[in-house]
A and B are shown apart, each in its own frame.
Chain A
Amino acid sequence: MIKKYPVRVNVNGDDYEVQVDPRKTLLQFLREDLDLTGTKEGCDEGDCGACSVILNNKVVSSCLVLAVEADNAVIETIEGVKTGEELHPVQQAFVDSGAIQCGFCTPGMVVTTKAMLLEMPNPSTREIKEYLAGNLCRCTGYVKILDAVENAKEILNKG
């Protein structure tokens, strides 16, 4: 029998307590144990950003975090970005700017963008590119993603 370890974690405002195989990554834990499949696996080695989640207020690649490391952590995934009935301004901006094609990189992009705007509400274009540099997209060429982020920034700074 594999020895399991407790993972007591708050994800998108909900508390969970699960006994977890220590080899499981946070990404696998979110997708398989908590059925939160919005966070995606693109490479499983921290190169593509598709698995980005906010862990204790910092955006990380969940494929490079063991689930057991997240014991007592507070986590936000794409499913937690929208609260209530309306889309979060970042999400709305992505929709309105044409920044979503196949959508597979979108959860990671949105989560990372949200983390960025919480940390720095008024990033320059250069800073935006720096912050999103670890999120790969093959469909959009990033042009409308940049538009979306700039638009979201405007909206959040106004409201």
Chain B
Amino acid sequence: MDNYSVIGKRVNNRDAMAKVTGKAVYTADMKLKGMLYGRVLRSKVPHAKILSIDVSKALKLKGVKAVVTSEDTPLIKYSIHPMMADKLAFEDKKVRHVGDEIAAVAAVDEETAAKALSLIKVELEELEGVFDPVEAMKEGALNIHDHVETNTSKHFTMDCGDVEQGFANSDFVMEKTFTTHAQSHCSIETHVCIGDYSLDGQVTLWVNTQAPHALKQRLSAALDIKQDNIRIVPPYIGGAFGAKIDLDTTHVASVLLSKKSGRPVKIINTREDQFAATRMRHQTICHLKFGFNQDGTIVAKQAKTIIDNGAYNSHGPSVLGYHNVMFSTIYRVDNISYEGSLVYTNKNYGGACRGYGDPQTTFAQETMLDMIAGKLEMDPIELRMVNANHPNEKTANAVEITSCGLKETLEAVKDASNWSEKKKTNGKYRGLGVASMTYTGGGSRGSGYNYSGATMQMNSAGTIFLKTGATDIGQGSNTVLTMIAAEVLGIEPEQIRLITSDTDTTLPCMGTFGSRVTFCAGNAVNEAALNLKGKILSQASELLGEPAERLEMKKGMVSVSGVPGKGVSLSQIGVHSYSRNQETLIGSGYYDGPEISPDFHPKSYYAYPGPTMSFATHLAEVEVDPETGRVELINFYAAHDSGKIINPLLAEGQIEGGAVMGFGWALTEEFKFDNGKILNPNFHDYKIFSIKDVPDITSILVDTTDPNGPFGAKGLGECAMVCTAPAILNAIYDAAGVRICDLPATSEKVFNHIKSQ
């Protein structure tokens, strides 16, 4: 039994007060002196050559202070993957999707900016659009980009063991194709930024970014401005889910418009912009072939995947890699083969979206497992137990598994849901389904880096500061990180004065994505706190006349172990250190791990350098109405292995939020594309779950401890929606006997499947 003061407690989110009173300032709430309002001109056609852009009329409109096009940029292409950079902030030669950026204006108010946009004359020569990745891959298909020979932006194969031999040795072989659809992040706050380019060349960007330090690098590269001259400051962020990682044209636009006009420029995305012109989850087509034995052992598995990139690379190359890693890492299978292609199409392009390829690959694999269980007449939970990963093993694709509670999560949902009993007694059209997953619990070093830095200080008054680049996007990292520091220093988390994200005042953190903050930033904070603690104890040791080893930090004091009443306060130590010894009290920590194996394959992500893996199992109970196809969620159970849970209140929040986002992806959310145009860029036609749609959700946090995480913790944020959809669709199969292999399972689709039974 752990004996922590703070770790493991249900501590309230430290930002909740500011948010619940309306005082928390988000980017759109900011108003700077002389601020202008910017708007971006986006293409209305999916594929065209740009013949000319005439901004003269827009410039003449009263109230317009600046207009920018590609001519105002150094024409440097960028991408999250610099080696695969394919996007200009403003396209100069070609637009490649509806929403592709052409120009931007800044004016004294929104209305004038909007009017100015309509006065920009763009002459386009429309080209045929390619919308289907399978078509786009074919010989002779129209090339969307000039820097690659075909529309296949990335392709790789990975082979472990011998799948052909494996299939030959299997009792059974099964094949199926699965397709998954796009998803919009739908954070309630849209993209917003305010760019300020001062006369002396200093650039400040207030922006709701998940990755301020990385954004600084990217902005610097794209605009050819020294990093030394850039400051990124994120105010409070209204949700992100991966949408707010990339360098966006609005960032470049606001900075350049500010440069031209001499005034700060705010750009706010409308909800329509958000749906139609910001990133989305990648669509996938995945053909699986599994070889398995009568006893449930999976002998060999093969995946052939096509990922619809959309018009530009963004995170596509790594999403494809993750699609492979998460396919290959779960379950103990020796023979694995994977082939993946990332294909350009003339559609709004995919980016990082909660789960990063894992929901897509897990939907395919977990449905296949359900089909295997059916074939073998084996309990689906039992089937997964047979194949489940064990702790401290290396997988066939050379991933190191440290802690692993997969089996515990399977047991947990089985018990909580009364699975065995309900499986026997559930009536017709009522069913249960289960699905499991794995995902990194601490980001990865796939790009070469996985860094987070933190500094801690105590001043002469005994006040403790924590400064870290890690950004809270709503998940509660501000609370978790101060809890870690507080545990080390024996104080209350609320006592710690926290500064995050501002690139001027914090050590770099790669960003809030890949479920990495608790693990990576947590490790950095832990190290910084221990570092500071050492210095505090050293000073205290002088004051108390006791060796540091006999001292402990508890309840805001430094005292002698086992000697009640003998101690000093932090403020006494502060005075002693600064005034007496002229010694500052600063500790720092930096994490960038794990070691990258020499076997690491940067394209396929074989030997994926993730520091730890988290696991989970979701279980859904549904009722299907055969007359309408409507799927009603009755109960939902989610059991997660994320190591030692620093704050269960916040962890449950992630599970519940992720599950509901998964419900939407499984059942009601759907982009309607028509020749590259999105027909439903709004909340009334793109349906996310409301409070009325949500069933009872039981969150279970199983008890494991990771050897490498801070206090044994692992990440959770994305795990929460990775296996949700297949759990629901497996439940639909159990309820209505229909196997749906293409998401989403809308009521019309379910109805049609039932009808054709």
List chain B positions with a Cβ less than 8 A from chain A.
10, 12-13, 15-26, 28-29, 185-190, 236-241, 270-271, 473-476, 649-650, 652-653, 655-661, 682-684, 688-692, 694, 697
Contacts and interface: CB of A to CB of B under 8 A. Distances in A.
Interface stretch (A3-11, A65-73, A143-151): A143-151
B22 A141 contact: no
A50 to B, nearest CB: 6
A149 to B, nearest CB: 9
Interface in A110-149: 110, 128-130, 132-146
B16 A139 contact: no
Interface in A56-106: 77-79, 81-82, 87, 91, 94-96, 98, 100-106
Contact of B188 (A138, A142, A145): A138
A101 B653 contact: yes
Contacts of B21: 38, 78-79, 81-82, 87, 91
A95 B476 CA distance: 13
11 contacts: A47-B684, A81-B21, A94-B16, A95-B20, A98-B10, A100-B16, A101-B13, A102-B187, A102-B237, A138-B657, A141-B660
Interface in A34-67: 36-45, 47-48, 50
B682 A144 contact: no
Contact of B19 (A44, A77, A98, A103): A103
Interface residues of A, number: 52
Contact of A42 (B29, B188, B694): B188
Nearest to B695: A143
Contacts of A139: 187, 239, 474-475, 653, 657
Contacts of A133: 690-692
A38 B22 contact: yes
B20 A105 contact: no
Nearest to A137: B188
A103 B270 contact: no
B682 A103 contact: no
Nearest to A108: B188
Given A133-B692, A134-B690, A40 B189 contact: yes
A79 B650 CA distance: 26
Contact of B22 (A43, A94, A107): A107
A143 B694 contact: yes
Contact of B660 (A47, A91, A142): A142
Contact of A141 (B190, B474, B682, B697): B697
Contacts of A40: 26, 28, 188-189, 238
Nearest to B270: A44
Nearest to B20: A91
8 A-B pairs closest in CB distance: A38-B22, A102-B474, A103-B19, A104-B238, A141-B660, A141-B656, A78-B22, A47-B683
Contacts of A41: 28
A78 B24 CA distance: 12
Residue of A48, A102, A143 contacting most chain B CB atoms (<10 Å): A102
Contacts of A145: 691
Given A141-B659, A141-B660, A102 B20 contact: no
B697 A39 contact: no
Nearest to A2: B111
Contacts of A43: 271, 682-683
Given A43-B683, A47-B683, A136-B683, A142 B691 contact: yes
A47 B15 CA distance: 26
Nearest to A98: B649
Contacts of B652: 98, 143-144
Given A43-B271, A47-B683, A140-B653, 7 more contacts: A45-B684, A87-B21, A101-B476, A101-B653, A102-B189, A139-B239, A141-B657
A39 B238 contact: no
Residue of B21, B24, B474 contacting most chain A CB atoms (<10 Å): B21
B55 to A, nearest CB: 26
Contact of A48 (B19, B188, B658, B659): B188
Nearest to B475: A101
A96 B12 contact: yes
